[in-house]
Amino acid sequence: YILRIVGTELLQNFSFVSRSSLASFLCALEAKYNSEVPYHSNAHAADCANSLEVMLSNSGQDINPLRTASCYIAALGHDVGHPGVNNAFMINSRHELAITYNDRSVLESFHAAELERLLGTVRVLALPKALEHKERQVRIAYILSTDMSKHMQDLADFRLKLGCKDFDPVGNVADHQLATMWLFRASDIAHSAKPWGIHRRWSMRVVQEFH
């Protein structure tokens, strides 16, 4: 029940989050994670969301509550339904999801769709339609950004951006979202920055899942 515990702690105090629906949403989301997958599990999702909360709280960024909640929800659902294989396997095996998503960020697209489908069923966010649409696009973008096949190129581009004199993650909206997205991506692989014992256990789970 770790996802439900962490998700409740992170989301329960936002005024636009329906407390009557939150427990149902988190329960349904956790149930969609595959209990037989060693790494991409409900525990990983909870760890990702918890790591993101620590990073956001210590980033110095002034992030509005709605965007913060979107970050947490995306983190909790960013690997929902993961089958325990990677995109290359899905593509090379001509899996139905690879065909559906045209071999592009197959699993990430699937995770984003599953999360948004659930949010459409369990109405946990009480928002105007236009605002909900905007935050939906943000959640999808965050989840799609976790495709590791794009990591090195995106990181190189981000380093160039950091070197620009006009880069302003505080005053510029686009730069602010870019910086927040990198905190989200960092939280997905944050175990590598944790004490050795924790990092080793997570790393062994990766090995068990993929090998």
Q: Please, is 194 exposed, middle or buried when counting C-beta atoms within 10 Å of its C-beta (0-12, 13-18, 19+)?
A: middle
Helix ranges (H only) for the chain are 2-11, 19-31, 42-57, 65-77, 87-92, 96-100, 106-121, 129-144, 151-162, 173-188, 196-210
Specify whether the CB–CB gap between 59 and 44 falls below 8 A. no
CA distances from 82 to 26, 79, 130, 153 (A): 17, 6, 30, 24
Q: Is 44 a catalytic residue?
A: no
Amino acid at 176: H
Check 40, 44, 82, 95 and give the catalytic one.
40
Q: What H or E segment, with its residue span, contains residue 86?
A: none
d(CA 122, CA 26): 10
Could you give the residue numbers annotated as active site?
40
